Amino acid sequence: MRILVTGGAGFIGSHVVDAYVAAGHEVAVLDNFSTGNEANLNPAAETHRVDLRDQPGVERVIAGFRPEIVNHHAAQSEVPKSVADPGYDAHVNIVGGLNVLKSSTDNGVKKVIFISTGGALYGEPDVVPAGEDHPVRPLSPYGTSKFSFEQYLGTFKRTFGLEFTVLRYANIYGPRQDFYAEEGRVVAIFASRMLARKPVTVDGDGEQSRDMLHVGDAATANLAALERGSGGIYHVSSGIPVTVNDLFRKLALLTDYTSSPKHGPRRKGDVYRIALDNSRARRDLGWEPRVDLEEGLSLTVDYFREQVSRAPA
Ligand SMILES: NC(=O)c1ccc[n+]([C@@H]2O[C@H](COP(=O)([O-])OP(=O)(O)OC[C@H]3O[C@@H](n4cnc5c(N)ncnc54)[C@H](O)[C@@H]3O)[C@@H](O)[C@H]2O)c1
C-alpha cells in the first residue's frame, strides 16, 4: 500500500514508518521537523518538509504521492504548550488536521488513521481501566483539540465516505523519545538522568499512576489498523496502571542508580490514577501488547546508554 505518515520524523511516527517499510509498504513522510529529527528518518521513505498549516503544501504532497492510507501522527503534542497557547494548538491539531482531511477526500485516500490520546481525554477517570466510552472531559486544550478532530472524522466519513480509525494512545515510551514529548516522557527523563548520575525529581508523592506502552507495541497497532477497525476508536495501551515510584525503582535497578529521588510539587492538571482498557483493540484489531514493562524499560535504558556513550564529552 502507499501510505503517508504525517509526523514520521517524530518519536512514535518514525517507528510506525519503520514498521510499514518493513512490511513492504511504500511510505512517504510529511513533517515540519518542529520536534521531529532527521536521524529518525527511514531512508526508504520519501520525505516532505511541510507544515500542516500550509494548505497548498499539504495538498501538493497528497496529490503528488496519492496515498491509499494517511496515518496522521503530526501534532502539537505537549499539554503545557496547549495551556500556554491554545490558539497555536488548535491551528496545528484542528486546522492543520483539516488540511489533511480535505486533501485526502480530494485525492482518493481510502482511510485516515488518526492518533488521538487516551491520557488527556477523560480527566480523572471514574473507573480504572477506563473504556473508550468513558465520558470525555479534557483538562487541557490539547485533549479538546484531539477530541474535536475525532468528531471531524465522523463528519468526513458521513459526508464524503472517508474511512477512519482512531487510536487513542496511552503513555508511549521507548527509543527516540526526547524529553520535550509530553506524555510518557517520564521514562526518558528518569532513564537519561539516572545514567548521567544526575538528581531525579518525582512530581508529588509519586503514587500517581500511568498506563505505559512500549513504542514497538504502538507500531504494531498501526499495522493492524491498515486492514481493520474502520469507523472504530481504540485504546492502544497496556491496561495496567503503574506508579511513578514503581517506574523510578525499576529504572534505578536497571541503571545502578542509588540516589533517592527529590519530590517536587504535584503538577497542576495532572490526572492522578489512570489506565486504559484495551479489550476493544484486542477484539477488533487482533492486536495485543507484546512488550512487558520490564523488557520495555530495559530496551529503553539500552538505547539511552548508547546515546550517552555517543554524546561528545
Ligand atoms: N508520546 C505519547 O505518549 C503520546 C500519547 C498520546 C498521543 N500521542 C500522539 O502521538 C503523536 C506523535 O507524538 P510523539 O510523542 O511521537 O511526538 P513528537 O513530537 O516526537 O512527534 C510529532 C511530530 O509531528 C511533527 N509536527 C509537529 N507540528 C507539525 C506541523 N505543524 N506540521 C508538520 N509536522 C508537525 C513534529 O516535527 C514531530 O515529528 C502525536 O499526535 C501525539 O499527540 C503521543
pLDDT above 90 for 215:
yes
101 shares a domain with 52 = yes
Asked if residue 284 belongs to a domain, the reply is no
CB 186 within 8 A of CB 244: yes
24 and 39 in a single domain? The answer is: yes
Give the CATH number, domain containing residue 302. 3.90.25.10
| Same-domain pairing of 22 and 38 | yes
pLDDT band at 228 (very low <50, low <70, confident <90, very high): very high
Q: What is the CB < 6 Å shell around ligand 1?
A: 7, 9-13, 31-36, 51-53, 73-77, 92, 96, 115, 117, 119, 169, 171-172, 181, 183-184
> Band of the pLDDT at 307, cuts 50, 70, 90?
confident
Q: Same structural domain for residues 107 and 153?
A: yes
Assess if residue 56 is contained within a domain.
yes
For position 312, what pLDDT does the model report? 66
pLDDT of residue 313: 59
Judgement on whether residues 139 and 192 belong to the same structural domain of the protein: no
For 155-164, what is each residue's pLDDT tens digit?
Answer: 999 999 999 9
Residue 104 near residue 47 (C-beta atoms within 8 A)? no
Q: Does residue 191 share a domain with residue 81? A: no
Inform me whether the pLDDT recorded for 182 exceeds 70.
Answer: no
**Judgement on whether residues 98 and 179 belong to the same structural domain of the protein:** no
Query: Which of 15, 16, 35 gets mutated to test ligand 1 (max ligand atoms within 8 A of its CB)?
Result: 35
**What distance in angstroms lies between residue 75's CA and the mean position of ligand 1's atoms?**
5
266: containing domain: 174-211+239-276+291-310
Which residue in 142, 169, 234, 257 is the catalytic one? 142
Q: Where are the beta strands (DSSP E) in the chain?
A: 2-6, 26-31, 46-49, 69-72, 111-117, 163-169, 171-173, 201-203, 209-214, 233-236, 241-243, 262-264
pLDDT digits (tens, 9 = 90+) for 253-274: 999 999 999 999 988 777 899 9
Whether 99 and 197 map to the same domain: the answer is: no
Determine, yes or no, domain membership for 80.
yes
Q: Indicate whether 207 and 303 sit together in one domain.
A: yes
Q: How many CB atoms lie within 10 A of CB 62?
A: 26
Domain membership of residue 283 (yes or no) is no
193 and 112 within one domain: no
Q: What pTM was computed for the model?
A: 0.97
Q: Which of 5, 12, 95, 99 to mutate to test the pocket of ligand 1 (most atoms within 8 A of CB)?
A: 12
Whichever domain contains 6, its CATH number is 3.40.50.720
Distance (Å) from CA 10 to ligand 1 centroid? 6
Q: Where are the alpha helices (DSSP H) in 34-140?
A: 55-65, 79-84, 86-90, 97-106
Please give the C-alpha separations between residue 165 and each of 87, 112, 157, 220, in angstroms, as whole numbers. 26, 7, 11, 14
Catalytic-residue membership of 20: no
138 located within any domain? yes
Structural domains of the chain, count = 2
Q: Do 41 and 166 share a domain, yes or no?
A: yes
278-300 pLDDT tens trace: 999 999 999 999 999 999 999 99
Residues 35, 58, single domain; the answer is yes
